[in-house]
A = this chain, B = another copy of it.
Amino acid sequence: MTDTDASPGPVGIVEVAALAGVSPATVSRALRGIPGVSTATRQLVQKAAADLGYVASPQASALARGRTSAIGVLAPWISRWFFTAVIEGAQDVVTARGYDLLLYPLGANAGPDAQPVDTRGLHKRVDGVLGLNVPVTMRPATLKTLAAPLVTVGSTIPGVPGVRVDDQLVGYLAARHLIDLGHRRIAFLGLDPDDMYGFTVARDRHTGYCRALAEAGLPTHPADVEITGFAVEAGEAALEHQLAIADWDPAALPTAIVAVSDEVAMGVLYAARHRGIRVPQDLSVVGVDNHDLSHLFDLTTVGQPVRQQGAIAAQMLLDLIDGRGVGGGEPVRLLEPGLVVRNTTAPPRAH
């Protein structure tokens, strides 16, 4: 395995061709595993390429083939654990197939007054797009001008293939767990700020929560449902707000809380601790995600396979790019969530 190229000039396909004593066309064919090249020639070329340390220019290749060998990740931002975990899952798959991953964080553009994302020309950069909780503001016209296959992870867009966890089941499992423990007044902290992102996630989880309550014959109290988004701070604020509504009497709080994400749950735990509310004795809390750090809080949560969603979505996207439709079935793959019981849930205090 020779690993040096002392050649000063950049090595292109012609250099390899010269060394191997064949034409550039043959080099191209040989190196890409295209049939119609004798085994002997192929090996000869491969050796020459290796000796020279040749790697085809992605730009030139892209220009000639009309393919970029890159896929883009569209996400509101990336510093939330969920997104990076999905990206890692996707990365493995696309890398193995020779694709690069481009980051397109929407940043400020994910907010309520987001500009319609300019996706024109995106298809010139990437062969496909992975949309992580793509905001509603993207849908109207921009998606049409995207002109590249799109697969979503998390929040779903009608008519667009995607991967997500069964969010209604998520909400159901969380609420059901609390009901089974004996709770009868359960809050849901986690509706989306009005149309902020257009996530279907929060709404679906709320729906599942409502179903569990209904099944158990429990009433739903409007004040027990809060709009939070997914951030830690929102969880803190929501518990404070609940306290305020309860006239600062902890005993008047719901006895249990379903948080839309582990981050929100962490915020709730934090606020509870600082208010002297004991978890789980005074208040039970369930999160969602099984965040990498959730075990540090002994947080009971409804886990979802995050990296796996990224991997599956990437696979679907690559298949789409290759013309293979999403493997004959539903366009949206639903994964199963699973309850992870730790220590932030317990039966309610006896009155």
CB pair A91–B103 under 8 Å, yes or no, is: yes
Mark the stretch among A22-30, A57-65, A252-260, A330-338 that contacts chain B: A57-65
Contact among B79, B145, B295 with A292 in the assembled complex (CB-CB below 8 Å): B79
> A180 at interface (Cβ–Cβ under 8 A)?
no
B79 and A103: CB pair below 8 A? no
Query: A91 and B105: CB pair below 8 A?
Result: yes
Measured in the bound complex, the distance between the Cα atoms of B103 and A84 in whole Å is 12
In this complex, how many residues of chain A approach chain B with their Cβ under 8 Å: the count is 45
- B55 engages A232 (CB within 8 Å): no
B residues near A270, Cβ cutoff 8 Å:
295-296
Q: Which of B53, B88, B293 contacts A120 (CB 8 A)?
A: B53
Please give the count of copies of this chain that the complex contains.
2
Min CB distance, A89 to chain B, in Å?
A: 10
| A84 close to B79 (CB less than 8 A) | yes
Give the residues in chain B near A292, CB-CB below 8 Å. 79, 232
List residues of A (108-128) whose CB comes within 8 Å of B's CBs: 120-121, 124-125
Interface string of A260-277 (1 = CB under 8 A from B): 000000110110000000
Q: Which of A56, A270, A296 has the most CB of B within 10 A?
A: A296
Give A160 to B112 CA distance when docked, in angstroms.
42
Q: Which of B3, B53, B91, B102 contacts A101 (CB 8 A)?
A: B102
Asked whether A55 and B293 contact (CB < 8 A) given A84-B79, A88-B77, A88-B79, the answer is: no
| Chain B min CB distance to A56 (Å) | 8
A319: Cβ under 8 A from any B Cβ: no
User: What are 12 A-B residue pairs whose CB atoms fall within 8 Å in the complex?
Assistant: A3-B141, A57-B124, A59-B59, A79-B81, A79-B84, A87-B103, A91-B107, A101-B102, A102-B102, A103-B103, A269-B296, A296-B297
Known A58-B59, A59-B59, A266-B296; further 17 A-B contacts with Cβ < 8 A: A3-B141, A53-B120, A53-B121, A59-B60, A59-B68, A70-B102, A77-B88, A79-B84, A79-B85, A79-B88, A91-B103, A91-B105, A101-B102, A232-B292, A232-B296, A270-B295, A293-B293
